[in-house]
Amino acid sequence: RRSRLGVYIGRPTETADGHHVELAANIGSPQDAQAARDGGAEGIGLYRTEFLYMGRDTMPTEEEQFLAYKIVAEMFAGQPVVIRTLDIGGDKELPYLTLPKEANPFLGYRAIRLCLDRKDLFRTQLRAILRASAYGNVKIMYPMISNIEELRQANAVLAEARAELDAEGVKYAQDVEVGIMIEVPAAGMAADQLAREADFFSIGTNDLVQYMMAADRMNETIAHLSEPFNPGVLRLIRHVITAAHAKGRWVGMCGEMAGSVVAIPLLLGMGLDEFSMGSGSVATARALMHKLNRSELSRLADEALELDTAEEIRRHIINRVPAVA
């Protein structure tokens, strides 16, 4: 199977009718980046930086972070590397950060909420990312944005980091794109407004589905509700893509859904620009995309969104798109 898919590695990802798609990988470390390259990813759509902070007793220094980001930027020489700022809290803890005990940690003090409260820590990370931007095509992404105020506050800290580096004469890329994850339903609904101030979106379906369905993504008992093909979820995804395109912004997806073979035709039909997934899924996704005609898929997406259940939507895609079955 590997060798059959191997023919696509190193070729740009296009649909059968010549539409270019960004096919990227999710990573959590520089070691993962090597696997992503070997797997044929054309960039990194999600660099989860929390793993740099975990499994140790002290905060990683700016220098340590800079090196961990720079090495990946260089490895992907000119291809996009989307670095997500710290997404800690929820289920992930750090020994050197005392997080409050909360009844609902996933609805609590996590990700951008924590970073906007601990601006020292956040500024250090932003400085490290900016410095790495001098060595490749780095983009910055904020997790768990709930409203436009958070985006503005985060950008204010980024402006401080830039000003500091300017004052110190440290180089960084001037044109770094700054985007946000769409994981909170209210942010998805307000995508048209957020698109005025964010350079791009990446839809995090793992959290977005959890919050839209009010179903803990770790709870086995209600696993059937963790359903990205739920019509309500799909309508929001379509809205996010449409709203972003209307403002000239690109939209990616870095949740598990992006690597699902049944979801790919549907997401292409909705106009998704970038797909980011585990390295192991990249070759299969590329082979599938090469067989699809994007021009036919927007009708498929329209039809699918009129169906009542996730199961009917899946069936419809499998029936209409032979390459999926």
Residues that bind ligand PEP (CB under 6 A): 46, 48, 87, 183, 204-207, 254-255
Partner from Mg ion, ligand PEP, none contacting 205, C-beta within 5 to 8 A by type: ligand PEP
Partner from Mg ion, ligand PEP, none contacting 139, C-beta within 5 to 8 A by type: none
Nearer to ligand PEP, 183 or 273 (CB): 183
Q: Which residue ranges are tagged as binding site for Mg(2+)?
A: 183, 207
- Burial of 150-177, coded b for 16+ CB within 10 Å and e otherwise, reads bbebbbebbeebbeebeeeeeebbeebb
Partner from Mg ion, ligand PEP, none contacting 48, C-beta within 5 to 8 A by type: ligand PEP
- Burial of 273-288, coded b for 16+ CB within 10 Å and e otherwise, reads bbbbbbbebbbbbbbb
Asked if residues 183 and 204 have their Cβ atoms less than 8 Å apart, the reply is yes
Check binding of 50 to Mg ion (CB under 5 A). Answer: no
The distance of closest approach from Cβ of residue 11 to ligand PEP in the complex, given in angstroms and rounded to an integer, is 26
**Distance between CA atoms of residues 12 and 83, nearest Å:** 22
Report residue 21: phi and psi, to 5°. Answer: -125, 135
Per-residue contact flags (x/-) with Mg ion for residues 188 to 217, judged by CB under 5 A: ----------------x--x----------
Which helix (H) or strand (E) covers residue 325, if one does?
Answer: none
Active site annotation includes 254: yes
Contacts of residue 240, Cβ cutoff 8 Å, sequence gap at least 6: 182, 188, 191, 201, 203, 251
Identified catalytic residue from 254, 285, 300, 324: 254
The distance of closest approach from Cβ of residue 159 to ligand PEP in the complex, given in angstroms and rounded to an integer, is 26
| Catalytically annotated residues | 254
Q: Applying CB under 5 A, which residues contact Mg ion?
A: 183, 204, 207
